[in-house]
Amino acid sequence: MSERREVAALEDISLSLVPGSFLTLLGPSGCGKSTLLRVIADIIVPTSGSVRVLGRSADEARRQREIGFVFQDSTLLPWRSAIDNVRLPLQVGGSVRPARRGRSPEELLALVGLAGWENSMPHELSGGMRQRVSIARALLGDPKILLMDEPFGALDEITRDRLNDELLDIWRQTGTTILFVTHSIHEAAYLGQQVLMMAARPGRVREIVPVDLPEPRELAMRDTGDFAALTGRLRRILETC
């Protein structure tokens, strides 16, 4: 029988995100990528240490709706239509809900390419469309930071490639800051302006790799030597994590 011991899930991490930047988070499974996102979003409260987000406590940042969260599963409420799912943030958290700001639910659905699908129920939508609805929901209220936890991990590769491009479009149009967790080296390299590599046990920042691919990104870039060199470098760093 092994003794139970406590393992520090995360150790002394400080992230500085330039407003409007796109940072991808890459690391082996169990390195605490998802935990880090959940600590920032105040879903998990660390047992020791403190968290500061945008200069205030994580709790306060959550109450001010500074953070939008996209889960791996679209987490739509199946009894609500697409538009009513996007409206959910307007209907809960009443006492702490800040004044309405940013795009309307209708505009957000159009932004994610679902104009005309407002009244469709989740079970009538494909997996990719459901995930777009959940992105629209996370963008409601114009959050300063969008946290995305392997949002396309459960989708097929063709849908995933398309959504990668659409996410970049959405990011350029909204100017929001995105922190994107993935376990795909290609996705991390293609989406991010920087790739933050994490190492496990305890979870810590291993290296921040800048991505110097030309903007705007296009899928054809994945076939270039520059892209292969970048993913090769990321893979070699991962082997030491």
Partner 1 sequence: MDAPADAARAAWLAAQNWLKWQRRILPLFGAASLLFAWWALVTYFEVKPFIAPAPQVVAQVLVQKSDILFANLVPTAIEALSGFALGNLAAILMATLFVHAKSIEMAFFPIVVLINSIPVVAKAPILVLLLGNGMAPKIAIAAVICFFPTLVNMVRGLEAVSPQALELMHVLSANKREVFFRLRLPTSIPFLFSALKIAASTAVVGAIVGEWIGSQEGIGALIIQATYAFDSALLYATVICGSTFSVAFFLVIRMIERLCVRWVPANHG
Give least dist CB 199 to partner 1, A: 25
| 69 forms part of the interface with partner 1 (CB under 8 A) | yes
Give the one residue of 56, 97, 144, 186 binding partner 1; rule: CB under 8 A: 97
Nearest to 149 by CA among 36, 241, 52: 36
CB within 8 A of 124, min separation 6: which ones? Answer: none
Distance separating alpha carbons of residues 12 and 49, to the nearest angstrom: 9
Give the distance from CA 149 to its chain's centroid.
5
* Structural tokens at position 79: 């009894």
| 126 forms part of the interface with partner 1 (CB under 8 A) | no
Among 110-118, 119-127, 180-188, 194-202, the segment contacting partner 1 (CB under 8 A): 119-127
Element (H, E) at 161: helix 157-174
| 72 forms part of the interface with partner 1 (CB under 8 A) | yes
Among 90-98, 99-107, 169-177, 209-217, the segment contacting partner 1 (CB under 8 A): 90-98
3-state secondary structure 184-211: CHHHHHHHCCEEEEEECCCEEEEEEEEC
Give the one residue of 25, 67, 136, 234 binding partner 1; rule: CB under 8 A: 67
| 151 forms part of the interface with partner 1 (CB under 8 A) | no
- Given strand 204-210, what is the order of strands in its sheet? 67-70, 145-149, 177-182, 22-26, 194-199, 204-210
Distance separating alpha carbons of residues 147 and 222, to the nearest angstrom: 24
Give least dist CB 77 to partner 1, A: 7
Among 93-101, 151-159, 166-174, 215-223, the segment contacting partner 1 (CB under 8 A): 93-101
Give least dist CB 79 to partner 1, A: 4
Residues that bind partner 1 (CB under 8 A): 38, 41-43, 62-63, 65, 67, 69, 71-73, 75, 77-79, 88-89, 91-97, 121-123
